[in-house]
Amino acid sequence: QSKYCVSLSWSSGRHRVCVWHFPFRLEILCEDEVMVTFNSKVLIFCLMKACSTSCSIPGPSSIGSDFCFHEFSHVYGLPEHADSLQLRDTRHGEPYRLYNLDVFAYELYSRLGLYGSVPLLVAHKPDRTLGVFWLNASETFVNDDRSPQLKRKRIQPRTDVHWLSESGVIDCVVLLGPSPQQLFSQYAQLTGYQALPPLFALGYHQCRWNYNDEADVKAVDAGFDRHDIPYDVIWLDIEHTDGKRYFTWDSALFPEPASLQHHLEKKRRKLVVINDPHIKTDPDWSLYREARDGGHFVKDREGKIYQGSCWPGESSYLDFSSPDTRSWYSRCFRLDKYQGSTPSLFVWNDMNEPSVFDGPEQTMPKDAVHYGGWEHRELHNLYGFYQVSFVRPFVLSRSFFAGSQRLGAVWTGDNAASWEYLKISIPMLLSLSVAGIAFCGADVGGFVQDPEPELLVRWYQAAALQPFFRGHSANTTKRREPWLFGEEVTASIRTAIQQRYCLLPYWYTLFHQAHTSGQPPLRLVLLLPPAAQWKHCRPRGALLACPVTDPGVQEIQVLLPGSDEVWYDVHSAEMYKGGKTLSLPVTLDSVPVFQRGGSVVCRSTVSGFCTADLQHLPFSITVALNSQGVADGELYLDDGHSFSYRDRKAFCLRRFNMLSGRLLCRSAGEEGTFDTDTVIQSVIILGVKGKPSTVVVHVSGEELCLYSCIYSQLDCRN
């Protein structure tokens, strides 16, 4: 402590925080170098505005502060925006806005708010990653002011970030990393780990607004079987209900919903139905009366039930900020309450920003009143989060906030069928992954407009390499089931989906890692330095993919990270040195995918018809050796559908290590009681420098047998 500041240290003095009293600021240091300064420009403020004396509602207010990231010039995060992965300097443009809105066919490369918000900003440079989490659910603006490095003047780069929120208190957390992996883990400890999805949720989902009736659903289901295309879930939009009354069925179009679900369940497939937060204002409907009489609706500032317009017409909106309302809403999904439901029915929460057709910016007025007397402005970005928090094994939500990852999946909303929307989906999903929302995807083919066949194929290929994989389209578009565009297109889409299913053991293992350590599955080249520095980086992911996102492409440029890394083409097994740019030919059927040397990836040998088949299919293990002849990886297995992995430790986690020509497979820990009949059919080792004379398999120290092997010599390409 000195006259002007108080200093606190930890990590044996390696880290310090200095608190200066005038002007007030906080500096966080590592080994005497300032990394982050809070209130560096003395912009901290808190403004409260009283309401009129006739009203007990507090009225508008605002808070703000700034952070300086010293020697950082690359920042990421702040989803959701249809913009580049790296955040842009906002000095000469609009700030990034965090305000959940229903935006149809949203503008690209825009900083305006979309369906969800995560106020996490991540700064990265080659030797350190830092983060700032600004915990505030009101409308928030973020300005990013970047100062470049000036070597001649010995001025280091810096990024100044100014946060401005309409309401609340200043509540922020600095995440010190120092690696991206450590930062992801720290953020997960703070806001929650990604939920481990049931295995079927990682398969392919087929959706449309709307499938016409039960016969239409069965015909689409049969079409996948007839064309040998695996899938797991078919979805129903709002037209399946009785007059847009959720928890009901149209008795003419879906007279036997339970029978329809049983039909799908015999094939081990599922049905998902939409469930929005607005409730049709209908005093003759028992569910509306329950919600009204139970006080479960949001009120206006006069204390009356707030009324807004949405799909059913005049609607009331459930107040999910109330624990009693969340409990009541959860009970509505009980099998004895939700008529026509079965255990194979799952839920999709849409329009939960919330969307109000006749509201300001098509959402709820900020002076609407929630449980406890809180104005809507205080918790707007939490509305969709609270709707999902009743927890089911699988739920998809359009709106989200920090922590939504522990509840289910999200998607990027109402995109359009164009190459530009395909291209922007990749940084949008990477940005969500940076912010902990790991189970994310974009509507394949675009929700609105009709994709040309080439675009549809390329979108399936890209989406098959992304976490949530769903084809969806609006009722104004032409039907686009995968077999409606000719055999060549059908074959290309079939290949993309089948390859996704073969990789599901790897995807499931990645989600186990997200669930236990906070590492996002979609991290293939995530948070790497700028292209000029890539030769020095050390990527952690096993697979690197470069989807084709432009029409008529016959050759694609691929930059392989790491000058001391080796990469293997997963299709040809050819080996390439890292730190270089490749020019590769592509056809409509091909997408460049590489496996990193030093990794082990487990695949199913065939795709099956749905994810349930994977429990009985043999696996193949691909070992990609690095330049030292070493590789490691993991395989996670459980029953794929229950919480037994959590409640009874019924899971199996195996670790593979290749060293000195010997591949070891052993338990990754003492926990895990899941017995599996999974058979390893083949082991492929990439990068072997000479043909082995024999291959010997040992189990628990006992030599079982000698195996013959197939050896192919491939030269490394520079």
Q: 3-state DSSP call for residue 493?
A: helix
Q: What is the largest CA-CA distance in the chain?
A: 90
Write the single-letter amino acid at 553: V
Stated as kind and residue range, the H or E segment containing 621 is strand 619-624
Tokens of 141: 């603006």
Edge-to-edge strand list for the sheet holding 680-686:
662-667, 652-659, 631-637, 599-604, 619-624, 680-686
Instruction: Kindly report the number of other CB atoms within 10 A of residue 174's CB atom.
Output: 16
Residue 566: strand, helix, or coil? strand
SS3 for 119? coil
Instruction: Locate 264 and state its tokens.
Output: 């799908």
Tokens coding 463: 């989406």
Which listed residue (83, 160, 414, 443) is catalytic? Answer: 414
Q: How far apart are the first and last CA of the chain?
A: 58
Active site annotation includes 414: yes
Angle of helix 180-191 relative to helix 504-517, nearest 10 degrees, comes to 70
- Omega before 210 within 30 of 0, i.e. cis: yes
Spatial neighbors of 425 by CB under 8 A, at least 6 apart, are 412, 415, 442, 462, 466
Q: Which of 80, 350, 378, 634 is catalytic?
A: 350
- Is residue 410 within 8 A of residue 397, CB to CB? The reply is yes
- At residue 479, what is the residue type? R
Annotated catalytic residue, options 353, 565, 634, 638: 353
Q: Is 94 a catalytic residue?
A: no
Instruction: Tell me: cis bond preceding 23? Omega within 30 of 0 counts.
Output: yes
Distance CA 541, CA 163 (A): 33
Q: How far apart are CA 397 and CA 347, in angstroms?
A: 9
Chain centre to alpha carbon of residue 682: 32
Q: Count CA atoms within 13 Å of residue 251 on its CB side.
A: 1
The three-state secondary structure class of 309 is strand
**Of 246, 250, 259, 260, nearest in space to 333 by CA:** 246
Beta bridge partners of 581: 559
DSSP lists the bridge partners of residue 28 as 17, 36
Give the residues across from 308 on adjacent strands: 315
Which of these, 241, 250, 318, 296, lies nearest to 274 by C-alpha position? 241
Count CB-CB contacts under 10 A for residue 588.
16
Kindly state the helix (H) or strand (E) to which residue 434 belongs, with its residue range: helix 419-434
Is 216 in the active site?
A: no
| Token couple for 273 | 């139905």
CA nearest neighbour of 64 among 91, 49, 45, 78: 45
Backbone angles phi and psi of 211, in degrees to 5: -75, 135
- Measure Cα distances from 330 to 237, 318, 390, 401, 659 in Å: 20, 12, 6, 20, 51
| Residues 203 and 232 sit within 8 Å (Cβ to Cβ) | yes
Kindly state the tokens that stand for 429: 């999903």
Just list the catalytic residues. 350, 353, 414
